[in-house]
Structure 1
Amino acid sequence: MDFRLTDDQRALRAGVRELLEGRFPRERLRAVVDAGAPVVDRALWRELGGAGFFALRLAEADGGVGLGLPEAVLVFEEAGRALLPGPLVATHLAAGVVEGAAGGRAVVTALDAAGPLVEHLASADAVLVIGDEGDEGDDEGDGAGGGIGVLSAAGLARSARPIRSVDPATPLHRLDLGSRPGQEERGLAAFPADPRSTARLRREAALLTAALQLGSAARTVEMAVRHAGERSQFGRAIGAFQAVQHLCAGMLVRVETARSVVYAAAVTEDAGEVTAAKLLADEAAVRNARDCLQVHGGMGFTWEADVHLHLKRAWVRAGQWQTAAEAEEELAAGLLRIGV
């Protein structure tokens, strides 16, 4: 099996990077962070939709781009590199099911039964609700008790409680999973029973989140290396000191290790490989951001620096879809099955 990128895939990645550098530069990121109450930029969301960001995996006959999960991973990696805010994964997964999601006219967030936190609820039009696996026969058809459904964001917001988020660009709300939605809140859309099972949707969400983490981890390597070459101490660049070199080298190893597993999981779509990809990408994003802070010294901890934003976003994503503890348990169970 060949995991090397094709010329078309490289061109796609370069095109997305160019788009994001032009439409979401550092100044836009800082404006979102400094706003205090971040909301999804609808104009940018529609532009992403027009570029095929959300419809990337829809068939051309359905108005999509007709590409696959490997291409989606490349696109989400670039979004993670730019720290692009918003419920990107949920809107991408809902394309073709929620009206307007594919073109960026609708913002869709997600509620996973495994964790009751919802990001960007105030900016969303709809909420993709994923219930417990094995409970897909939910007689309500709303996903609140099992299976997959789409509910009104405005309806759910009435029973949601805002909580403080460590990431200033990712507002969070906590929802009561035990409450049943009112009649006006259910039935916005229905996912087809086949082939999108609950388990498959969770795997795709975990892998795309891993791609976001991978992009952030790679970006912090670039930031650390650049600062090490520019910052001087004792008459020479700090990058000349072996301790700093070791930090940067370790960061690069984490990124390349995670990248190989994330890319492979996108090709195979194997559940175990997706779990390993999420685990390694989370570790790379969090630990690289911490090491990048060390390279920057006291400057890295200041509000004006961007390093802490990568660390805070990495912490939030590490708790989404599959935590490290859940991934480790799943991988251990897989090894035990092989041993038997």
Structure 2
Amino acid sequence: MRFGLTAEQTAFAASLHDLLSTTDDWPKLAELGVTALGIPEKHDGLGASPVDLVVAFEALGHHGVPGPWTDTVAVLPALLDDPVLASVASGETRASVVFAPHVPYALDADTADLRVLVDGKRLRTFTPGASLSSVDPSRRLFEVVPGEDLGPALDPARAFDLGVLATAAQLLGAGNWLLSTSVAYAGQRRQYGREIGKYQAVKHLLADVVTALELARPLLHGAAVTLAPEDVSAAKVACGDAALLAARTGLQVHGAIGYTAEHPLGRRLLRVRALTTAWGTAAVHRRRVLAAVG
């Protein structure tokens, strides 16, 4: 099967990158249709496909956009069929979703308009408890105090896989940002009278990152087409491994400056560390793949 993005999806990605190069404002992204992607048309959404979600979340990951995007845009529409989704589509409502055991803490629950706890096949409200520290300072996590029952969940299995898929797409986007930043820096930083990007060893390091990212991309897009659990898990592992390789290589290329809080590389490294364990660790997803093929 030969997979390629449509002209509309390519144009959408370009529009997102243009916008995100100047702002990551939630209302501006809502105007572009990001918040309406997963919402059915009957609730004023776009009824977009998982591939469209992947396109959007790769751009969000590339630019390091903070906020509960996965919870609100990818996961929530698969959990309930309710008029509140219209306000999600318009960008007025943001959600925080807890999906134990793999998502035990609530992201940005203190500012979320809608808080949903997936309890088996049912939904419950929750209130945020104690705040927790995250390896990524932009991710504000909270313990959960369960509340009242909201009724049955629409499709919790699909919701979880969409959360995993969106996280994998963000990792791929972050990995590509790290690669492009490292390539640019390697063309500027000079040692022994020449740019370090001209040394064969550095070229090999960067080439390994290119290979890992390009091999992860078809797994991600294929998983968006099939939405089979084993495909989604394989994509999460591949995108996570590729992003971590891009992070390690970025540090090698940048040297000590990459560790500083002032440099954007350091912030992106922390985001990758956090996302690799979000919505299931690599071990969890490797077990899902093994169970499927075994």
Normalising by structure 2, we get a TM-score of 0.92
Q: Counterpart amino acid of 1:58?
A: I
* Mapping for residues 199-210 of structure 1, pairs under 5 Å: 199-210=157-168
Q: CA distance change for structure 1 residues 279 and 67 in 2, over 3 Å: closer, same or farther? A: same
Partner of 1:311: 269
Any unmatched runs of 5+ in structure 2?
none
Partner of 1:36: none
- Separation of aligned partners in 2, 1:59 and 1:173: 30
Of 131, 141, 166, the residue aligned with 1:172 is 141
Q: How many residues align?
A: 287
Contact 1:119 1:172 in 2 (8 A): yes
Of 70, 76, 90, the residue aligned with 1:94 is 76
Partner of 1:12: 12
1:64 aligned onto 2:33: no
Of 74, 85, 100, the residue aligned with 1:113 is 100
Displacement of 1:252 in angstroms is: 0.8
SS at match of 1:124: coil
1:333 aligned onto 2:279: no
Displacement of 1:118 in angstroms is: 1.6
Q: Counterpart amino acid of 2:107?
A: E
Q: Which runs of 4+ in 1 moved over 4 A?
A: none
SS at match of 2:125: strand
Higher strand share: 2
- Separation of aligned partners in 1, 2:247 and 2:259: 11
SS at match of 2:187: helix
- Separation of aligned partners in 2, 1:269 and 1:205: 11
- Separation of aligned partners in 1, 2:223 and 2:118: 22
Of 275, 289, 311, the residue aligned with 2:233 is 275
1:129 aligned onto 2:111: no
Partner of 2:155: 197
- Separation of aligned partners in 2, 1:238 and 1:326: 38
Which has the larger displacement, 214-223 or 58-67? 58-67
Contact 1:128 1:148 in 2 (8 A): no
Contact 2:244 2:273 in 1 (8 A): yes
Displacement of 1:46 in angstroms is: 2.4
Name the structure, 1 or 2, with higher relative contact order (CA <8 Å, separation 6+): 2
Of 252, 256, 259, the residue aligned with 1:294 is 252
Q: Counterpart amino acid of 2:95?
A: V
**How well do the aligned residues superpose, as a CA RMSD in angstroms?**
1.8
Partner of 1:31: none
Partner of 1:23: 23
- Separation of aligned partners in 1, 2:2 and 2:92: 36
Of 147, 153, 178, the residue aligned with 2:121 is 147
Which has the larger displacement, 93-102 or 55-64? 93-102
SS at match of 2:21: helix
1:78 aligned onto 2:47: no
CA deviations 1:14-57 (Å, max 9, x no partner) are 01111111223xxxxxxxxxxxxxxxxxxx22222222112113
- Separation of aligned partners in 2, 1:20 and 1:149: 34
Contact 1:258 1:280 in 2 (8 A): yes
Contact 1:85 1:169 in 2 (8 A): yes
CA deviations 1:45-80 (Å, max 9, x no partner) are 222222211211333343122321101100110000
Contact 2:76 2:159 in 1 (8 A): no
- Separation of aligned partners in 1, 2:134 and 2:51: 31
Q: CA distance change for structure 1 residues 149 and 46 in 2, over 3 Å: closer, same or farther? A: farther
Greater gyration radius: 1
Q: Counterpart amino acid of 2:27?
A: R
- Separation of aligned partners in 1, 2:222 and 2:45: 24
Displacement of 1:90 in angstroms is: 0.7
Partner of 1:134: none
- Separation of aligned partners in 1, 2:173 and 2:116: 24
Which has the larger displacement, 276-285 or 99-108? 99-108
SS at match of 1:230: coil
Q: Counterpart amino acid of 1:126?
A: L
- Separation of aligned partners in 2, 1:334 and 1:58: 30
Contact 2:231 2:289 in 1 (8 A): no
Q: CA distance change for structure 1 residues 335 and 175 in 2, over 3 Å: closer, same or farther? A: same
Partner of 2:132: 163
Contact 1:217 1:285 in 2 (8 A): yes
Contact 2:179 2:206 in 1 (8 A): yes
CA deviations 1:103-137 (Å, max 9, x no partner) are 11111111111142221111212223223xxxxxx
SS at match of 1:175: strand
Of 189, 202, 207, the residue aligned with 1:249 is 207
